[in-house]
Amino acid sequence: MIIDCHGHYTTAPKALEGWRAAQVKALDGRSPPPGPHPAMTDDELRESLEKSQLRLQRERGTDLTLFSPRAMAMSHHLGDARTSEDWTRLCNDTIHRVCTLYPRNFAPVCQLPQSPGVAPANCIPELVRCVEELGFVGCNLNPDPSGGHWKDPPLTDRWWYPLYEKMVELDVPAMVHVSASCNPCFHATGAHYINGDTTAFMQFLTSTLFKDFPTLRFVIPHGGGAVPYHWGRYRGMALDMKLPPLTEHLLGNVFFDTCVYHQPGIDLLLEVIPVENILFASEMVGAVRGVDPDTGFHFDDTKRYIDRAPGLSDTDRARIYEGNARRVYPRLKLPA
């Protein structure tokens, strides 16, 4: 079985973003409130998936996607906590419907109702609702709810601890995932996403977070940002700081996905990061949609890179495709 741990619902029916646009417009206080959550038929949901994610799963030979709301659209920086709660609930309910329609193809991962300057403890009720009532298996955690201004404390600050306590209690991991950038310095998918990954890793490295939460687990997406490419730098910095080796210090709690869109990048990832810490992912349908003219295949068809990676045993490949995801997401109950 091949589990893709990183897929977003980037192809949702227009009614979803229409409702969001009305919600955001109403923030000016002069436009009408957005009204009840939009009615989307099961057929509309099916259609939005059959031509894209489901078709790609079939074509590429992957089985199950851990599916979460569109990351760019989380946009926690818009409005306030109430805005974020309402939008998040709609997004998570939509994911729940998708996973109920296609339980063999999708397992649900939730967005959290974060808001800049609002304590992450505020996200606990929605996390509990999603996990306990709706069967979600993980969440996405935005390390920068301000959208490129990085105004909240680092992920290792006690500010975040109540949420971590609940994650540990529920035994769900978080994928560390920023959202849109409202800072013109940062292109969202080209800079802010990758920077968010690198930033979070370095926050973890310089902290004792995993002493406080030995079973807390984070997946860093996009192949860990810049981290594997600079693995020597990080190993060296940890040594200079008299920290334990990174394998001991972090890799019981921190995992990387395989959203790296060329063979040399995947080969590097597999060479420097222990296989136990790598989870297969493609982020499809996501940041890069085209076909690589050098290979004739989609850039984000990451399964091809894993299949072709030199020196990877079948056992290790199976860990990356399935075993590690089952370990990191223990609530994932796979249909027979």
Catalytic residue among 59, 165, 271, 283: 283
CB of 182 to a second copy, least distance (A): 11
Cα pseudo-dihedral 74, 80, 86, 90, rounded to 10: -10
Determine the Cα–Cα distance for residues 44 and 53; give it in Å rounded to an integer.
Answer: 14
Tell me whether residue 86 or residue 257 sits nearer to a second copy (CB atom): 257
CB of 220 to a second copy, least distance (A): 12
Member of 13, 103, 162, 265 binding a second copy (CB under 8 A): 265
Q: Does 222 bind a second copy (CB under 8 A)?
A: yes
Contact letters for a second copy, residues 177-216 (x by CB under 8 A): ------xxxxx-xxx--xx--xx-xxx-xx----------
CB of 189 to a second copy, least distance (A): 7
User: What is the DSSP secondary-structure string of 125-177?
Assistant: HHHHIIIIIH---EEEE-S-TTSSS--SPPTTSGGGHHHHHHHHHHT--EEE-
Tell me whether residue 275 or residue 288 sits nearer to a second copy (CB atom): 288
CB of 109 to a second copy, least distance (A): 22
Give whole-number Cα distances, 56 to 65, 265, 300, in Å: 11, 22, 10
- Name the segment binding a second copy (CB under 8 A); options: 97-105, 166-174, 264-272, 326-334: 264-272
Tell me whether residue 27 or residue 239 sits nearer to a second copy (CB atom): 239
Please answer whether residues 93 and 108 qualify as being in contact, where contact means their C-beta atoms are separated by less than 8 angstroms: no
- φ and ψ at residue 220, rounded to 5 degrees: -95, 120
CB of 64 to a second copy, least distance (A): 24
Determine the Cα–Cα distance for residues 268 and 278; give it in Å rounded to an integer.
Answer: 12
- In 3D space, the residue among 322, 280, 276 whose CA is nearest the CA of residue 303 turns out to be 280
Give whole-number Cα distances, 14 to 7, 11, 39, 81, in Å: 19, 8, 11, 24
Q: Does 52 bind a second copy (CB under 8 A)?
A: no
Please answer whether residues 238 and 201 qualify as being in contact, where contact means their C-beta atoms are separated by less than 8 angstroms: no
CB of 71 to a second copy, least distance (A): 15
Q: Does 231 bind a second copy (CB under 8 A)?
A: yes
106 SS3 class: strand
The yes-or-no answer on residue 283 being catalytic is yes
Member of 32, 290, 296, 335 binding a second copy (CB under 8 A): 290
Q: Does 232 bind a second copy (CB under 8 A)?
A: yes
* Phi-psi domain of 104 (left: phi exceeds 0; alpha: psi -120 through 50; beta: other): alpha
CB of 270 to a second copy, least distance (A): 10
Contact letters for a second copy, residues 132-161 (x by CB under 8 A): -----------xx---xxx-xxx-------
Q: Does 271 bind a second copy (CB under 8 A)?
A: yes
Quote the distance between the C-alpha of residue 189 and its chain's center.
13
For the packed helices 42-50 and 53-60, what is the interaxial angle rounded to 10 degrees? 40
Residue at token pair 């997946």? 219
Active-site annotation, residues = 283
* Residues forming the site for a second copy (CB under 8 A): 143-144, 148-150, 152-154, 183-187, 189-191, 194-195, 198-199, 201-203, 205-206, 222-223, 225-226, 228-237, 239-240, 260-262, 264-265, 267-268, 271-272, 287-290, 292-293, 299-300
